Amino acid sequence: MRDDATLSDEDVVARVRGGDTAVFEILMRRYNQRLFRAARAILRDDADAEDAVQGAYLAAYTHLDQFAGAARFSTWLTRIAVREALGKLRTRRRRGEVDLEGKEEMLMSDETDDSPEKHAARRELAGVLESAVDALPEIYRIVFMMREIEQLSTQETADVLELSEEAVKVRLHRARAMLRDGLFAKVDKSLSSTFPFLGARCDRIVAAVMAKLPPRRLPD
């Protein structure tokens, strides 16, 4: 199943609540990249971020009846992913595990019209930026990821992270200042290609979550 753009999030939620579990995949396809980026900004590890995203989807599915529409579904869902990632981070710290600083997986792009040289150069540049973002302190890294890379608005970022809009603005300003001006200028046009969430990873999470979803009980 692919994302059906004619269905709003609320339409999909209503169908899932009505027992059509299969369409939950639409929401996962729609928000996989956002949730992965949010979780990875906190955990700085691809595997842990994938686990957090799966946990977030399962929690959202289980508590779908609690979504009251006070915030956008995307905000509600991303907030769950952030909390899931923070929980994993707390567990890691209690166990005395250190944050992984090694090189991250370099994922191939779906684009085929570029020369191999241009593609390699672009991915190398994106890799440099990923390393620079990873080096930011956690409280600035997650704000930078949401605002500059995922391109959420200040208000939605504040809602997701449960901060004031002013706090988001301050943290984003400090995050930018911590990145070297020259580096940021070079990679500004490449932000959207960083931390990619491509076919294999997306399919893996969808398959894992769909396999664990229990049937929903129809309302009396």
pLDDT tens digits in sequence order for the chain, 220 residues long: 666 778 999 999 999 999 999 999 999 999 999 999 999 999 999 999 999 999 999 999 999 999 988 889 999 999 999 999 999 998 888 877 644 443 333 223 334 445 665 666 667 767 777 888 888 899 999 999 999 988 899 999 999 999 999 999 999 999 988 886 546 555 565 666 677 776 778 888 999 999 999 888 776 6
Question: Which region holds residue 151: left if phi is over 0, alpha if psi is between -120 and 50, else beta?
Answer: left
State both tokens at 153.
């608005």
State both tokens at 200.
């294999």
CATH number at residue 162: 1.10.1740.10
* Within a domain: 111: no
3-state helix/strand/coil string of the chain: CCCCCCCCHHHHHHHHHCCCHHHHHHHHHHHHHHHHHHHHHHHCCHHHHHHHHHHHHHHHHHCHHHCCCCCCHHHHHHHHHHHHHHHHHHHHHHCCCCCCCCCCCCCCCCCCCCCHHHHHHHHHHHHHHHHHHHCCCHHHHHHHHHHHHCCCCHHHHHHHHCCCHHHHHHHHHHHHHHCCHHHHHHHHHHHHHCCCCCHHHHHHHHHHHHHHCCCCCCCC
State both tokens at 88.
């994993």
* Within a domain: 84: yes
The distance from CA 219 to its chain's CA centroid, rounded to whole angstroms, is 32
* Within a domain: 109: no
Looking up tokens 């899932």 gives 16
* Within a domain: 27: yes
* Within a domain: 2: no
* Within a domain: 220: no
pTM: 0.72
* Within a domain: 105: no
Per the structure, the complete domain to which residue 55 belongs is given by 9-99+116-212
Q: How far apart are CA 49 and CA 28, in angstroms?
A: 15
CB 32 within 8 A of CB 196: no
The residue count of the chain comes to 220
* Within a domain: 26: yes
Domain count, the chain: 1
The residue type found at 157 is T
